[in-house]
């Protein structure tokens, strides 16, 4: 009857979104009077007992180098085997590329109702109801799962990590390796950068920046704050910036703690992907730009003058503290 959390990894390191999933899983377990366990697939570098700090009691590791390559079919088979052997009732994923590939498959195998993109803990006062993001962040839907077994994928940055003192027990889950249906021939990581979906702070530029040669404003500010960079759709369409930076209704939907929009008008399709951000700052020279209506803080001014001053001021603040 336990809760099982899928811990996603990259190059042997646990992703930030998986710590959120672990905290969420532990809280969900607490609500239903049970405990949370985790599954980790592949060869890891991180110390898995650390997951205890996030409320995980036991970690089932399948430490096999060969499993570092992702295949939704293989991962689904392994997770399903563990679900059967531990009799887990609820499985939690992060709603990232891995979670989105595995959870739907697993829901068919387990005959479990799936809610993807959860933003809050389940409400179990009458049935099992989960709030999820819909209309690309413009609204929420409360979804009831009717089945005994349940699968939830948690939106990144939607649930705060809860860190305590526990130590998780690590057990090796031994099983035969399922056959791969996909061959991973190449992986290109953008090294050193913060993945946009998980970033705490995002600095985003729009057409108001006039051209790719001016992006230093965005990247300098991002570097200073340890932030990820993003852009509006036209900026990616005209190839000033790579496609994966495009946020909005038809790009990536994000919910960082801080979103700073520079030279972006704030069209409804752009807002849809960013309006779940906790604090929104808009820098735009047009006082009528619609983005100001969705912002917490704003400066009406020329980005080319304002942003360098902001950078200086942050540097000053950092050198004082």
Partner 1 sequence: MLPIIEDWWLFFNYNFTIMKILVCISKTPDTTAKIAFADNNTKFASDGVQWIINPYDEWYSLVRAIELKEADPTISIHLINVGGPESEPIIRKALALGGDEAIRINCDSNDSFNVASQIANVAKQGNYDLIFTGKETIDFNGSSIGGMLAELLDLPFVSHVTKFNIETNMAVIIREIDGGEETNKAAMPLVISCQKGMAEQRIPNMKGIMGARTKPLKVLDPVDVVSLTSIVSFDLPPAKAGVKLVSPENPEELVRLLHEEAKAI
Ligand X SMILES: Cc1cc2nc3c(=O)[nH]c(=O)nc-3n(C[C@H](O)[C@H](O)[C@H](O)COP(=O)(O)OP(=O)(O)OC[C@H]3O[C@@H](n4cnc5c(N)ncnc54)[C@H](O)[C@@H]3O)c2cc1C
| Residue 294 contacts which entry, ligand X, partner 1, none (Cβ below 5-8 A, type-dependent) | partner 1
Closest CA to 231 of 263, 192, 185: 263
- Smallest gap from Cβ 252 to partner 1, in A, equals 9
Is 137 an interacting residue with respect to ligand X (CB under 6 A)? Answer: no
In the set 227, 289, 294, 295, which binds ligand X (CB under 6 A)?
289
Q: Map the footprint of partner 1 across residues 130-149, applying CB under 8 A.
A: 131-147
Total length of the chain: 321
CA gap 247, 195 in Å, rounded: 13
CA gap 72, 105 in Å, rounded: 8
Is 188 an interacting residue with respect to partner 1 (CB under 8 A)? Answer: yes
| Residue 232 contacts which entry, partner 1, ligand X, none (Cβ below 5-8 A, type-dependent) | ligand X
- For 300, the token pair is 């009406």
Stretch that binds partner 1, among 31-39, 59-67, 84-92, 270-278 (CB under 8 A): 270-278
CB of 302 closer than 8 Å to CB of 285: yes
The packing angle between helices 72-86 and 97-110, to 10°, is 50
CB of 51 closer than 8 Å to CB of 22: yes
Stretch that binds partner 1, among 31-39, 166-174, 205-213, 275-283 (CB under 8 A): 275-283
| Residue 197 contacts which entry, ligand X, partner 1, none (Cβ below 5-8 A, type-dependent) | partner 1
Name the residue nearer to partner 1 (CB basis): 183 or 213: 183
Q: Report residue 49: phi and psi, to 5°.
A: -65, -20
192 φ/ψ sector (left φ>0, alpha ψ -120 to 50, else beta): left
In the set 45, 65, 174, 183, which binds partner 1 (CB under 8 A)?
183
Stretch that binds partner 1, among 24-32, 39-47, 202-210, 289-297 (CB under 8 A): 289-297
Stretch that binds partner 1, among 26-34, 104-112, 168-176, 207-215 (CB under 8 A): 104-112
Q: Map the footprint of partner 1 across residues 147-166, applying CB under 8 A.
A: 147
Report the largest interatomic distance among the alpha carbons of the chain, rounded to a whole angstrom.
63
Q: Map the footprint of ligand X across residues 247-286, applying CB under 6 A.
A: 248-251, 263-265, 267, 269-270, 273, 283-286
Closest CA to 9 of 61, 57, 83, 74: 61
Q: Map the footprint of ligand X across residues 223-252, applying CB under 6 A.
A: 232-235, 248-251
Strand (E) or helix (H) holding 130? strand 129-134
Q: Report residue 229: phi and psi, to 5°.
A: -110, 150
288 Cβ contact list (under 8 Å, min separation 6): none
Q: What is the CA radius of gyration of the chain?
A: 21
Q: Enumerate the β-bridge partners of residue 39.
A: 6, 60
Q: Map the footprint of partner 1 across residues 113-132, applying CB under 8 A.
A: 113-117, 129, 131-132
Size of the site for ligand X (CB under 6 A): 26
Give the per-residue contact string, 7-36, with partner 1 (x = CB under 8 A; - = no): -x-x----x-x-------------------
| Residue 177 contacts which entry, ligand X, partner 1, none (Cβ below 5-8 A, type-dependent) | none
Is 223 an interacting residue with respect to partner 1 (CB under 8 A)? Answer: no
Q: Three-state DSSP class for 276?
A: coil
Question: Residues in the site for ligand X, rule: CB under 6 A?
Answer: 206-208, 232-235, 248-251, 263-265, 267, 269-270, 273, 283-286, 289, 302-304
């Amino acid at each position: 009857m336990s809760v099982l959390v899928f811990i996603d990894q990259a190059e042997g390191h646990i992703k930030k979104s998986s710590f959120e999933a672990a905290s969420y899983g532990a809280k969900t377990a607490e609500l239903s009077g049970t405990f949370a366990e985790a599954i980790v697939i592949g060869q890891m570098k991180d110390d898995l007992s650390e997951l205890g700090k996030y409320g995980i009691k036991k970690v089932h590791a399948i430490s096999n180098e060969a499993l570092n390559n992702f295949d939704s079919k293989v991962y689904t088979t392994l997770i399903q085997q563990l679900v059967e052997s531990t009799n887990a009732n609820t499985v939690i994923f992060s709603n990232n590329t891995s979670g989105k590939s595995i959870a739907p498959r697993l829901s068919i195998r387990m005959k479990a109702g799936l809610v993807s993109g959860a933003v809050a803990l389940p409400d179990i006062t009458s049935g099992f109801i989960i709030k999820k993001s819909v209309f690309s962040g413009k609204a929420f839907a409360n979804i009831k799962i009717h089945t005994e077994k349940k699968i939830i994928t948690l939106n990144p940055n939607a649930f705060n990590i809860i860190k305590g003192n526990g130590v998780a027990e690590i057990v090796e889950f031994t099983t035969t390796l399922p056959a791969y249906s996909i061959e991973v021939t190449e992986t290109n990581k953008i090294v050193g950068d913060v993945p946009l979906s998980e970033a705490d702070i995002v600095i985003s530029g729009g057409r108001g920046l006039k051209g790719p040669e001016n992006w230093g404003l965005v990247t300098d500010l991002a570097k200073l704050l340890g932030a990820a960079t993003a852009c509006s759709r036209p900026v990616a369409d005209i190839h000033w910036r790579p496609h994966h930076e495009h946020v909005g209704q038809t790009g990536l939907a994000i919910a960082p703690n801080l979103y700073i929009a520079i030279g972006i008008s704030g069209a409804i399709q752009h807002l849809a992907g960013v309006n779940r951000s906790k604090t929104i700052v808009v820098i735009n020279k047009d006082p009528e730009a619609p983005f100001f209506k969705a912002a917490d803080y704003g400066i009406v001014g020329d980005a080319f003058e304002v942003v360098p001053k902001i950078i200086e001021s942050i540097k000053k603040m950092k050198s004082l503290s």
